[in-house]
């Protein structure tokens, strides 16, 4: 019977065109949602009978990843949903009938912890009746209220350990999901507030109007929190020491990079995507013919590498990590190890202190993030022959360091340490190091003026004469 229906649906999809009409689009979405409900119910029964074992797999999640080509995150959630729908038949029936949509069902699955799955069984119908007429946002409030009431009657809740999950997806991106107790939540929120980078202000920390307008793109609250979390992690890595008597500093990241991929990452970071652009790049960097040949071979590469943990790193991530991190790198070429790098810091501590002494804070236009939260950025990447010298380094906060490594952004530092930033849209801003601020001026006749006048006349002022000045 199903094969007949499947053929009919397939034939219908081949000939059906959904017009760009509001009612037609909404009707189509409702039908798709009910089809999703049927698939999810089938997956629930398939999982309950462990049907995936007959196909040589150890779980529904593994079966979906291999047979349905889903991502690990999608397969993991589908497996979790299958278990819940098998335990909550009334929820599954409400979804199939159209009383609940997939968004509300997914909220139930996400919000209700594993320990309350059985407790929710007698309350299924009550919650379904309550959230049916509500929006998804209102339904989420109701579900969270139910969880709060369940927690209030759970004597083991206070002693439940916290948990955190971090899984990687394509391109080395990560999905973070966790469940923290109240104390851990309060601590993390307080730490994130400390590390949140405020929106650029027209006033600098001293209350004076900023001389340079920010080039920063607008950010959402979620982006601000994500940046703060990474800044917190970077700070912890930079200041971590083991509990032993001898300080033990592990590399922040271990990189495994094929040499052509490393060269390709450099080209992508510099916005070089064509042979003509490579020629200009080679002239600017004064590359030798042999070096230019290496880069030419790398031009068609993606510029990716991996960590020792197996996570894929994009060209942007490689450029940023190798710019100022404690790292251990293994450079290969065609499977042969060219360099088994010892743990190194791209910018050694004495040179970093010199950059901080000159720049004081992040040098990006409109930003005054303190030095302790900043990286040292190479104006010229070391792979392209850039030297780790003071006059080619500048202090940038983590946000601007990543931003300026993105394609389209250009930075230049002149002999006076004036930083020029060119945005992808053509805007140009310049900042000077704080040490280049103009000296204080004095009114005519002030003690300082007369002091300089005496020095100019070749006389050495005495303390008595200085103290006697009005």
DSSP secondary structure, 402-420, as one string: HHHTSTT-EEEE-TT--EE
Q: Among candidates 390, 394, 397, which has minimal Cα distance to 350?
A: 390
Same domain, 73 and 137: yes
CB 229, CB 382: distance < 8 Å:
no
Same domain, 330 and 288: yes
Same domain, 168 and 85: no
How much is the pLDDT for 409?
Answer: 86
How much is the pLDDT for 257?
Answer: 75
How much is the pLDDT for 309?
Answer: 62
How much is the pLDDT for 183?
Answer: 60
Two tokens, residue 23: 């009612």
Same domain, 281 and 362: no
- Single out the residue in 156, 175, 191 at which a domain terminates: 156
Residue 422, domain extent: 358-443
Per-residue pLDDT of the chain (470 residues; tens, 9 = 90+): 778 878 888 888 888 888 999 999 999 999 999 999 999 999 999 999 999 999 889 999 999 999 999 998 999 999 999 999 999 999 999 999 999 999 999 999 999 999 899 999 999 999 999 999 999 999 999 999 998 888 767 656 555 677 888 887 766 788 888 887 766 776 788 788 877 766 554 334 444 444 455 677 777 888 888 888 888 887 777 666 544 333 333 445 667 777 788 788 778 777 788 889 888 888 887 888 887 888 888 888 877 777 766 667 777 677 776 665 555 555 566 655 555 444 444 677 788 888 988 898 999 988 888 888 788 888 876 655 566 778 889 999 888 888 888 878 889 999 889 999 999 888 999 999 886 545 444 444 444 444 444 444 444 333 333 333 33
d(CA 398, CA 293): 33
Same domain, 145 and 28: yes
Q: How many domains does the chain have?
A: 4
Same domain, 195 and 268: no
Q: Considering the domain boundaries, does residue 88 fall inside one?
A: yes
Q: Considering the domain boundaries, does residue 454 fall inside one?
A: no
- pTM, full prediction: 0.45
Q: Considering the domain boundaries, does residue 190 fall inside one?
A: yes
Q: Considering the domain boundaries, does residue 205 fall inside one?
A: no
Same domain, 433 and 308: no
Same domain, 26 and 137: yes
Going by their DSSP bridges, the two strands 253-258 and 326-333 should be labelled as: parallel
Same domain, 268 and 402: no
- Single out the residue in 175, 207, 237 at which a domain terminates: 237
Same domain, 148 and 182: no
Helix (H/G/I), strand (E/B), else coil: 193: helix
Same domain, 183 and 273: no
How much is the pLDDT for 352?
Answer: 85
How much is the pLDDT for 382?
Answer: 61
d(CA 56, CA 67): 11
d(CA 46, CA 64): 12
Same domain, 20 and 150: yes
- Single out the residue in 121, 156, 191 at which a domain terminates: 156
Q: Considering the domain boundaries, does residue 246 fall inside one?
A: no
Q: Considering the domain boundaries, does residue 351 fall inside one?
A: no
How many residues belong to the chain? 470
124-130's contacts with Cβ under 8 Å and 24+ in sequence apart are 124/88, 124/90, 124/91, 125/90, 128/90, 128/91, 128/94, 128/99, 128/100
């Amino acid at each position: 019977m199903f094969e007949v229906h499947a053929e009919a649906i397939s034939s219908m999809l081949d000939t059906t065109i959904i017009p760009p009409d509001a009612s037609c689009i909404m009707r189509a979405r409702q039908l798709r949602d009910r089809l999703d409900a049927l698939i999810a119910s089938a997956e629930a029964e398939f999982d309950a009978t462990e049907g995936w074992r007959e196909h040589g797999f150890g779980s529904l999640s593994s079966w979906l990843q291999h047979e349905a080509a889903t991502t690990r995150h999608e397969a993991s959630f589908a497996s979790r949903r299958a278990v819940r729908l098998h335990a909550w038949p009334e929820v599954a029936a409400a979804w199939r009938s159209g009383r609940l949509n997939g968004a509300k069902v997914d909220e139930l699955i996400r919000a209700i912890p594993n320990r309350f799955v059985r407790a929710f069984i007698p309350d299924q119908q009550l919650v379904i009746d309550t959230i049916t007429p509500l929006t998804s946002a209102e339904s989420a409030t109701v579900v969270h209220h139910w969880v709060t009431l369940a927690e209030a009657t759970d004597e083991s809740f206070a002693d439940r350990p916290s948990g955190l999950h971090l899984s990687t997806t394509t391109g080395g991106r990560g999905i973070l999901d966790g469940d923290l107790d109240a104390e851990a939540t309060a601590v993390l929120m307080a730490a994130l507030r400390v590390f949140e980078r405020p929106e650029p202000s027209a006033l600098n920390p001293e209350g004076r109007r900023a001389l340079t307008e920010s080039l920063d793109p607008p950010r959402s609250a979620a982006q601000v929190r994500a940046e703060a979390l990474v800044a917190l992690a970077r700070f912890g890595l930079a200041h971590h020491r083991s509990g032993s008597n001898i300080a033990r500093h592990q590399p922040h990241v271990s990189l495994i990079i094929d040499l052509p991929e490393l060269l390709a990452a450099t080209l992508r970071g510099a916005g070089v995507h064509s042979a003509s652009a490579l020629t200009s790049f080679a002239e600017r960097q004064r590359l030798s013919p042999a070096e230019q040949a290496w880069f030419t071979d790398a031009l068609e590469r993606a510029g990716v590498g991996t960590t020792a943990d197996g996570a894929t790193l994009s060209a942007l991530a490689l450029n940023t990590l190798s710019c100022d991190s404690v790292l251990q790198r293994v450079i290969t070429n065609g499977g042969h190890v060219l360099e088994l790098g010892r743990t190194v810091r791209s910018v050694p501590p004495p040179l970093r202190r010199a950059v901080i002494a000159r720049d004081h804070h992040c040098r990006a236009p409109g930003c005054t993030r303190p030095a302790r939260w900043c990286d040292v950025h190479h104006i010229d990447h070391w792979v392209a022959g850039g030297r780790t010298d003071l006059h080619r380094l500048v202090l940038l906060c983590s946000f601007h360091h990543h931003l300026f490594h993105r394609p389209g952004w250009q930075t230049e530092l002149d002999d006076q340490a004036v930083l020029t930033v060119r945005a992808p849209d053509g805007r140009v801003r310049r900042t000077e190091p704080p040490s280049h601020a103009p000296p204080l001026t004095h009114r005519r006749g002030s003690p300082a003026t007369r002091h300089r006048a005496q020095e100019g006349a070749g006389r050495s002022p005495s303390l008595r004469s200085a103290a006697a000045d009005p």
